[in-house]
Chain A
Amino acid sequence: MAFISSGYNPDKPMEDRITDIGPKKFDQFYPPVIAKNKGKWLYHEILEPGVLVHVAEGGDEVYTVRCGGARLMSTGLIREICEIADKHCEGHVRFTTRNNIEFMVDDKSKLDPLKKDLEGRKFAGGSFKFPVGGTGAGITNIVHTQGWIHCHTPATDASGTVKATMDEVFGDFQNMRLPAPLRISMACCLNMCGAVHCSDIAILGYHRKPPMLDHEYLDKLCEIPLAIAACPTGAIKPSKVEVNGEQMKSVAVNNDRCMFCGNCYTMCPSLPLADKEGDGIVLMAGGKVSNRISMPKFSKVVVAFLPNETPRWPTMTDTIKKMIEAYSSDANKYERLGEWAERIGWERFFEKCELPFTHHLIDDFRDPAYYTWRQSTQFKF
């Protein structure tokens, strides 16, 4: 398309430049019933999976319908969300912290038409555009990252793994049969953008090969000291190499010390390490962020490696399914996955989930690793 100016003048970039105005204030977008009753809510109920009602002191009610979103959306889909909001909610809509979409109405009679409308909308391929659910003790949306769509350091894909997993656990999105909410998160490398380190079940992209060294360009493209300092295990040291008869500054990687985190590639474009067969997925389990009953927990590695099986990742979804089934049939009410695993003992967790325990799962990173070993005779056979 031919260039169409917005009015910006590239010859005078600082002229009429507006900066530091921040985001729009949230209360500009409140539905009237929310604005009126802000800070005066008495109680709420989950009427059914995906539908909540909040009741205010004066008796006002607001009904919320939560539906799943793919997070990665076209403007076409956003427009459709707006159209629904215009039709049922006077143009108001919100997104949750797990990227679900919430439509709010102020009267019970408006609830059913809204739900029917949402449930009737499907993509040409057959998947629901706006599946209602995600409340209570079920499985809500998966917090995830960029993957092969946009990032340059991923070891797996985000949107693909998430779609495969949500398809597998879709029943639990529209249901509240679990002992407690189960949060699944996904990050495509161990930068862990998002919530994988604190989720009940976490999907994490993982490399298994050390970086390749592009000696010819390394000194030109990289600040070598940064690449050295990026390594958590001290595997990288500066070195001089000869390329095409020319002395060049570069780095050397001690492959025995490298654990394939990819931090050096983040800092230095000449150290790529993505690999089709080497890369795959690590599963973690047992994290949470709430303070409810027990303190927040980190998730722990429970499956050291699963291959990237595009486009549906069957081994990964099967393993996740196994964990969810073992948890839902064995845990007590209100017990999060991590609390359950700690109560029955991790050796029982592996037994019940039928997961193999390998040496990869034993912490060996610096002094704190010691505290993860068992200094006790308390264990079950």
Chain B
Amino acid sequence: MAQVDFQGKTFDVDEDGFILDYNQFCEEWIQYVKEQEGIDELTDEHKLVVKVLQEYYEKNGIAPMVRVLSKLTKFKLKHIYELFPSGPGKGACKMAGLPKPTGCV
């Protein structure tokens, strides 16, 4: 387990840079992932995706399926990739502090 210090906060992360404990999520984490993922500017649209992911995760205990995320945010998958170049899993879920996607990925 590695630790990341960023703007005065400490995060436990795994080797892929996903946060190990959802409870450690805070605003600084968003800034940290923004740098890691090469996102130029944090817009309201980024924040909406993060908010939708977190609300869904807190309510259901899982990350939403891509089509559900598309429907809830009203963003097409193409646009989600424009916001998060690494995609909804590696980019958006990481920024939202959700667990790392599993399965045959």
Contact = CB atoms under 8 A, between A and B. Distances in A.
Q: Size band of the B side of the interface?
A: 10 to 19
A269 B22 CA distance: 16
A266 B99 contact: no
A32 interface: no
Contacts of A266: 102-104
A226 B102 contact: yes
Interface stretch (B26-34, B44-52, B60-68): B60-68
B102 A220 contact: no
Nearest to A14: B85
Contacts of A217: 20
A13 B36 CA distance: 11
A14 B38 contact: yes
A90 interface: no
Contact of A13 (B38, B61, B99): B38
A29 B62 CA distance: 46
A243 to B, nearest CB: 14
B62 A13 contact: no
Given A13-B38, A14-B85, A221 B99 contact: yes
B61 A225 contact: yes
A309 interface: no
Contacts of A267: 102-103
Nearest to A191: B104
A221 B20 contact: yes
Contacts of B22: 220
B55 interface: no
A224 B85 contact: no
A221 B62 contact: no
Interface string A224-248: 1110000000000000000000000
Q: Size band of the A side of the interface?
A: 10 to 19
Given A10-B38, A225-B62, A220 B21 contact: yes
A223 B38 contact: no
B103 A225 contact: no
A13 B61 CA distance: 32
Interface string B87-105: 0000000000001101110
A326 interface: no
Contacts of A220: 20-22, 99
A222 B104 contact: no
Contacts of B102: 222-223, 226, 266-269
A146 to B, nearest CB: 12
A220 B14 CA distance: 12
A222 B61 CA distance: 9
A192 to B, nearest CB: 12
Interface string A263-275: 0001111000000
Contacts of B57: 223
20 contacts: A10-B38, A12-B38, A13-B85, A14-B38, A14-B85, A217-B20, A220-B22, A220-B99, A221-B99, A221-B100, A222-B99, A223-B62, A224-B61, A225-B62, A226-B62, A266-B102, A266-B103, A266-B104, A267-B103, A269-B102
Given A221-B20, A223-B99, A267-B103, 20 more contacts: A10-B38, A11-B38, A13-B38, A13-B85, A14-B85, A220-B22, A221-B99, A221-B100, A222-B99, A222-B102, A223-B57, A223-B61, A224-B61, A224-B62, A225-B60, A225-B62, A226-B62, A266-B103, A267-B102, A269-B102
Give me the 4 closest cross-chain CB pairs, A-B, nearest first: A13-B38, A223-B62, A267-B102, A220-B21
